[in-house]
Chains A and B, each alone.
Chain A
Amino acid sequence: MESKETTQTQPQTQTFYSDKLKRAMHLLLFRRGKMPGAKEWEFKEKIGKNYEQVLEQLNQLLSELDLEIKKVKEHTPAYATQNEVPTDESRYYITLKGTLGLKEAKMIGWRIDNLAALAAVVAFLLSKQGKAPREDLEKLLANKFGRWKSITLVDIFLRTGYLEEDDAGVISLGWRTQSEIDLKTLMTRMAEVKL
């Protein structure tokens, strides 16, 4: 009798759990609004209180595919100090765990000069504590890519979420930079470059 009960409950738990994994995966992969990924409250609503455990298990599965789940605090800059209070809202994304090669980056639709400009812009903003006037950025890019191209490049990065601009024309790092770029590694590599 006991053994029968055990055999009946075990597969039920597995099905239930894999169902939660599927739902979490759908939330992470399929875009529903302007931004990809899913917010904390969405997981709480669709998966339940134990969503963090579900995400942890999903992360283990994804790591075999060189992917990982990343948690990013919204409206909290990456260069924020410990004293700054982070907001409650977090967003989860799936990102590449490893890195891409030059050819792969081209394959996913990025122009090499645009990526070079993105590297320059992010490094420059980080050196300025994450904020700088738009003119300064355009001037920096114009030296390397020309005046007209520099304006277009800043617009591209704003549109794709790598940068943000406020009403005063001050540019800061966008949500996508914080999600995709390991800022410490970038600055370390930048410092290591020998000219």
Chain B
Amino acid sequence: MSESPKKPTLAAGRRELKELVDTCDAIAERKFNPFFLDVKLGVETLRQFFPLWETFQDHCMDAHTLNRLSEVVRLQNTQLKFQSSALYADPEFIVRKLERMSEKRLVEVLLQSWHPLAELEQLTEETVTNALNYWDTLLPIAERWKKKQSNEGKPPSPINNEMLTGLGVHGEEFNTQINRLHEELRIACESSKVTDYWTFVRRPTYQETVHRAYLISFLITYGFAKLKTDDGKLSLIPVDEPTGKATANSISFPIPVPRSS
């Protein structure tokens, strides 16, 4: 029993035309050989779906596809003419040759066919304008030296409490955030004594998530909470009576925060 051919549908027609246009565009962008596409089959596809078109957009798409197919025919024609010209060389053959040729040999080939331009360099209106624009935006030499010095960076130096407060890593506000998070952790662990790290850290935005992960790292370092790992699963356990001091024998445990949920 032979299988009956599928009845063409409007949705299938739109999809086919889109694929056809994409292929034609790829050929025009030199991603494929122009003979990769069977133009006759493309035209038959257009003919097959033409009676199904309903909207103005469908007819526009039909005309656009026909236009792209004609572009492919033009490229096929150009390729045939090119292949019969003296410049024709098989791309694969050229690539293999280029890969195996030494730099010196390549230069020798170029020099045999290279006739460089002879011209005199002098000021033009455009070069003067460019020079003036550059001069106008150029800082005085003293400023530029200053900039260079600052780029080199200062050597490490001690930092005091005031500076830490200014940077937002110390001080009342920071402590408030830490205490608030500690309280939140305690509430989250009231029933089970332990909570999943990612459930506690993750927030709708990436920025918030990173900020919480950053604060939690302080909670752990200063003994407000403990981090437990179990087969790759991370859990947080709050400490009821924190020391508030960094643990002497603590280890560094990096936790990457992925952007995707």
Contact = CB atoms under 8 A, between A and B. Distances in A.
Interface residues of A, number: 66
B1 interface: no
A108 B122 contact: no
A1 interface: no
Contacts of B109: 119, 123, 186, 189-190, 193
A116 B113 contact: no
Interface residues of B, number: 45
Given A112-B104, A116-B107, A187 B117 contact: no
Nearest to A179: B117
Nearest to B123: A31
Interface string A123-161: 110111101110000001001100000000000000000
Interface string B151-192: 000000000000000000000000000000000000000000
A61 interface: no
B105 interface: yes
Given A126-B87, A185-B112, A186-B113, A95 B118 contact: yes
A174 interface: no
Contact of A184 (B87, B105, B106, B116): B87
B116 A195 contact: no
Contacts of B85: 79
Interface of A: 29-34, 36-37, 67-68, 70, 79, 81-83, 93-102, 105, 108, 112-113, 115-120, 122-124, 126-129, 131-133, 140, 143-144, 168, 170, 176, 179-191, 193, 195
Given A184-B86, A185-B113, A187-B87, 15 more contacts: A70-B115, A113-B103, A115-B107, A116-B110, A118-B110, A119-B109, A120-B106, A124-B94, A127-B91, A140-B98, A144-B103, A181-B114, A181-B115, A187-B86, A190-B94
